[in-house]
Structure 1
C-alpha cells in the first residue's frame, strides 16, 4: 500500500476513534447514571465496587477524554490506541459477562446523556468493530515504521 493511502486511512481511523471516545467521555460526564447502574450491577459479584461506582464512572470518562485528545491531536498514538484497546476489551468483558449470565440490560450507558442506547448484543458488535479499527490503526503505525 502506498504511504499516502496508509496515512489517509490512519488519519481517518484515529479521528473516528477519537470522536467516539470524545462523545463517550462527555456523555457520561453529563449523565453517567446508566454506566453507574452497570457498575452497581457488577457489584453483585464484586461488592466493594458499590462504594466507588460514581468515582469509577467519572475516572472512566476522564480516561476516555484523555484518549480522545491524543487520538484527535495525532500524538502518542501507540499509547492512545493501547489505552483505547484496553478500555474496550475491559468494557466488552464486563458486557460479555452480563450477556452470558442472561441479564437483560437495555442500555449499556456507553454514551451517557448523548443517548445511542443499545442492548448488549449491539454494544458488543460495536465494540468488536472498534477493536478491529484499533488493531488496524496499530498495524498501519507498525508498517509505517518498517
Structure 2
C-alpha cells in the first residue's frame, strides 16, 4: 500500500492481470521484497510463455524494504527485464514445457539496471548479473500511429 500511495497508483482488483494503474491508464506489475529476509523478488508460481507475454507488456515497479521501512522503489521497462524473460522462456522450453515454480528476479539486477523513483540505495552488496538489457531502437522516420 505504501508504494501505491508513494507513486499515486490505483490498485487493480482481482488476482489475475496487472497490479496497479496510473492516472494515464498505464498498468504496472508490482513486486516487493524485505531485504532483511531475502535478496530476490518472487514472480509467479506457474511461470510459462503466456505469463511472460503478459509481463512483457507492462512496466514493473520494485519496492525494497528493510523490515517495515520502505527503502527504495525502482522502475524497470520490459526491455530492461528481457534478458531475464528470455532466460525463463528458454528454461520452460528446455524443460519440455513444464511451468517454472516462482523463479526469482535478483534485487541486485534491479539495482543494477532499474531507475530509482523513490528512496535511497539500500546498501545491498551483489555481484553483477552479467545480463545486459538492450534498449529498443526507435525509427525516427516511422510515422506516428493515428
- Normalised to the residue count of structure 1, the TM-score between the two structures is 0.27
Relative to its length, the structure with more strand (as a share) is 2
- Structure number with greater CO (CA < 8 Å, separation at least 6) is 1
